Amino acid sequence: MTETSQPAPRPTEASPGVLRRACGWWFGVALWKRILGALVLGAILGFVWGEDATSIAWIGELFVRLIRMLVIPLVFLTIASGVAALADPKRLGSIGVKTLGMYVFTTALAVMTGLIVATLIAPGAGASFAGAVPRAVAEPQDTARMFMEIVPDNPIGAMANGSTLSVIFFAVLVGAGVIAAGKEAEPVRNLLAGGAEVMLRIVGFVMETAPFGVFALIAVVMGTTGPASFLAVLKLGLCVVVGSAIVTLVIHGGIVVRLLAWLPPLPFFRGIADAIMVGFSTSSSSATLPVAIRVAERNLGVSPPVASTVLPLGATIGMDGAAMYVAMLTLFAAQAFGVDLSLADYLVIAGTTTIVAMGVAPVPSGSLFVLAAVLHAIGITPEQTAIVVGFVLPFDRILDMIRTIPNVTSDLSIATAVARWEKEMDVREYLSADDE
């Protein structure tokens, strides 16, 4: 009796071992590979399941809410602690000037890329707007008012409303105040640094749910939109894919990382793979910000002061993908309506797009909200603009996913370059991304 009763507990003893091995295998795979696998499986499921895939939309929505939950506290704590850690206010000015200059530079190059690609492919030639439902586009915000509202009436209210630029402004002041207070503010400096580190740890926890969130998000997009509907805007989609590849690989990887930061591009792209996947699946630069800060510090070796200064600003004004897309849509509209453009018109499009792109909201389809300002500059009427938006909007989610990638790589490449110039970068940590 005793001998036969001893083996009974073995199944229950073996199951924890199986679970541990399964968990060990799962967490042993690089996160970006798990996200990529989830993206592929989600696309297949959505294609097969069709519109019924919306039944798992709540998983993707929950993931996006988790990410968005972290954005404002992370922005405040990382910027305030980063500025406080600089100790010298002149360093903040140096980083800020270089960052703004680089964003204007890459945005202008992205606009030029959009104009060249759209001119060569001519997506609007022969386009038919039959069946397109006109969609009104809100007037873009007055530029002077936008700058005025950077200074918040109530910092806590700005945080509650998700006003990122206002939060950045207040966080910079807090960090500068810590520097000015000197040794007496050391406890505040330590508190901010500890808070920023805690937030990055929470980002790590949330990112472990990314494969499941990405799986659901892609399944829903593929199930509701499907590849067949994409054929209606195939030429415009081809423009977006080609343009995004050029901006990401040539401008960000080749010019910014290789020529300006003097670093090999391959470790850069391997190190930021997590951020690219999240940006692609959520179509939001803002939602990608917590992940971007994490990969910049952990994978690229960018110091917290630079990462916390450059990336939150970039999530708001660094819209290379959006700038490229607005330029393409402008030529698309001109070609479709038979508007002949002169060299002066091209210069107007380039200048206007470069400026208004920095005001694009870092949310899905944010580019469409500034399109009216650029189209108006070349004589496209509000009624025609509404038709163009109505034609593009049903397919815009897929296009938005693609063009969010250069938005993300823009922020991270500029953070890398600025960190390199400021000697605020661990190059060995950057190169170690090649080993993953």
pLDDT surpassing 90 at residue 243: yes
Helix (H, G, I), strand (E, B) or coil at 426: coil
Q: Which of 315, 279, 268 is nearest to 207 (CA)?
A: 279
Q: How many residues does the chain have?
A: 436
Q: Which domains does the chain have, with CATH numbers?
A: 31-88+101-435 (1.10.3860.10)
DSSP state for residue 293 in the 8-state scheme: H
Beta bridge partners of 302: 425
Name which of 14-23, 214-223, 285-294 the model is least confident about: 14-23
Specify which of 111-115, 131-135, 346-350 reaches the highest per-range mean pLDDT: 111-115
- Write the pLDDT tens digit of every residue in 159-198: 888 777 788 889 888 988 888 888 888 899 899 889 888 8
The torsion defined by the Cα of 156, 159, 163 and 166, in degrees rounded to 10, comes to: 50
- Write the pLDDT tens digit of every residue in 343-360: 888 888 888 888 777 666
Identify which has the larger pLDDT, 19 or 169.
Answer: 169
Residue 251's pLDDT is what?
96
Q: Which two tokens stand for residue 436?
A: 């993953």
- Measure the CA–CA gap between 240 and 114, rounded to whole angstroms: 8
Residue 222's pLDDT is what?
81
Backbone angles phi, psi at 414, to 5 degrees: -70, -40
pLDDT surpassing 60 at residue 241: yes
Backbone angles phi, psi at 131, to 5 degrees: 90, -10
Q: Which of 391, 96, 378, 51 is nearest to 221 (CA)?
A: 51
Q: Is 343 exposed, middle or buried (0-12, 13-18, 19+ CB in 10 A)?
A: exposed
pLDDT surpassing 60 at residue 141: no
pTM: 0.75
Residue 269's pLDDT is what?
95
Residue 145's pLDDT is what?
67
Residue 300's pLDDT is what?
93
Specify which of 31-40, 263-272, 351-360, 379-388 reaches the highest per-range mean pLDDT: 263-272
Q: Which two tokens stand for residue 368?
A: 């469409």
Residue 229's pLDDT is what?
54
Residue 270's pLDDT is what?
92
pLDDT surpassing 90 at residue 204: no
Residue 137's pLDDT is what?
55
pLDDT surpassing 70 at residue 139: no
pLDDT surpassing 90 at residue 199: no
Identify which has the larger pLDDT, 370 or 291.
Answer: 291
pLDDT surpassing 50 at residue 342: yes
pLDDT surpassing 60 at residue 91: yes
Residue 292's pLDDT is what?
92
- 66's enclosing H/E stretch is helix 57-86
Helix (H, G, I), strand (E, B) or coil at 283: coil
Confidence of residue 135 (pLDDT cuts 50, 70, 90): low
- Measure the CA–CA gap between 217 and 181, rounded to whole angstroms: 47
- The whole-number average pLDDT for the span 76-90 is 76
Confidence of residue 413 (pLDDT cuts 50, 70, 90): very high
Q: Which of 355, 324, 354, 424 is nearest to 98 (CA)?
A: 424
The mean pLDDT value of the chain amounts to: 82
Asked if residue 247 lies in contact with residue 109, where contact means CB atoms within 8 angstroms, the answer is yes
Identify which has the larger pLDDT, 145 or 266.
Answer: 266
Q: Which CA distances in Å does 258 have to 153, 193, 249, 340, 414?
A: 42, 31, 10, 38, 12
Identify which has the larger pLDDT, 134 or 419.
Answer: 419
Chain Cα centroid distance, residue 366: 12
Asked if residue 354 lies in contact with residue 99, where contact means CB atoms within 8 angstroms, the answer is no
Confidence of residue 284 (pLDDT cuts 50, 70, 90): confident
Q: Which of 407, 404, 374, 371 is nearest to 390 (CA)?
A: 371
pLDDT surpassing 60 at residue 1: no
- Write the pLDDT tens digit of every residue in 398-407: 788 888 899 9
b/e burial code for range 234-263 (CB count within 10 A of at least 16 → b): ebbbebbeebbebbbeebbbebbbbebbeb
